[in-house]
């Protein structure tokens, strides 16, 4: 989630999404769970009360997620990639071409807290993200992935 220095890189969008999730957990989910616990207690014996056990388990999970988000936000360094930057950095969106398959991909380099490969958001700490950081348009980049070496060409930095 963070670098060895404890810094967590986030884009402004990532920070906004985490704040939105935290707000939702605190204002909607926690009160819902509290209501479920209250209703389950009214059913009587808590030792064999599945509703109570389930609600308490959910409460613990949500409390953990709240602490995680608060920690991320407290240690966040907001990545502000310069729109005209010619160097790939956290916050950059790049267009790359796989040299073997000739397939073209668009990736956004983000901090680990907002990684979502299905949306093209790759971590700055992943093998792919690390390989692109500090590179320029036109650079050939070799990524050492679990499946072997993959060669990419950086076509554009947005």
- Tell me the pLDDT tens digit for each residue of 31-55: 999 999 999 988 877 778 889 999 9
Q: What is the pTM of this model?
A: 0.76
Distance of alpha carbon 113 from alpha carbon 69, whole angstroms: 9
Distance of alpha carbon 44 from alpha carbon 110, whole angstroms: 49
Supply the CATH classification number for the domain 80-157. 3.10.50.30
Mean of pLDDT over the chain: 91
Residue intervals of the chain classified under CATH 1.10.287.180 are 8-78
* pLDDT for the residue numbered 2: 44
- Tell me the pLDDT tens digit for each residue of 107-151: 999 999 999 999 999 999 999 999 999 999 999 999 988 888 999
8-78: CATH architecture: Orthogonal Bundle (1.10)
């Amino acid at each position: 989630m963070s670098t060895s220095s404890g810094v967590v890189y986030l884009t402004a969008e990532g920070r906004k999404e985490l704040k939105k999730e935290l707000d939702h957990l605190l204002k909607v989910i926690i009160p819902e769970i509290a209501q479920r616990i209250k209703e389950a207690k009214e059913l009587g014996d808590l030792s064999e009360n599945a509703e109570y056990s389930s609600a308490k388990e959910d409460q613990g999970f949500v409390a953990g997620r709240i602490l995680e988000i608060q920690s991320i936000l407290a240690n966040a360094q907001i990545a502000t990639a310069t729109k005209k930057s010619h160097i790939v950095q956290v916050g950059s969106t790049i267009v790359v071409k796989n040299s073997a398959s000739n397939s073209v991909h668009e990736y956004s380099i983000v901090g680990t807290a907002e990684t979502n490969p299905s949306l093209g958001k790759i971590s700055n700490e992943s093998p792919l993200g690390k390989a692109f950081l500090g590179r320029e348009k036109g650079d050939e980049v070799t990524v050492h992935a679990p499946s072997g070496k993959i060669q990419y060409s950086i076509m554009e930095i947005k």
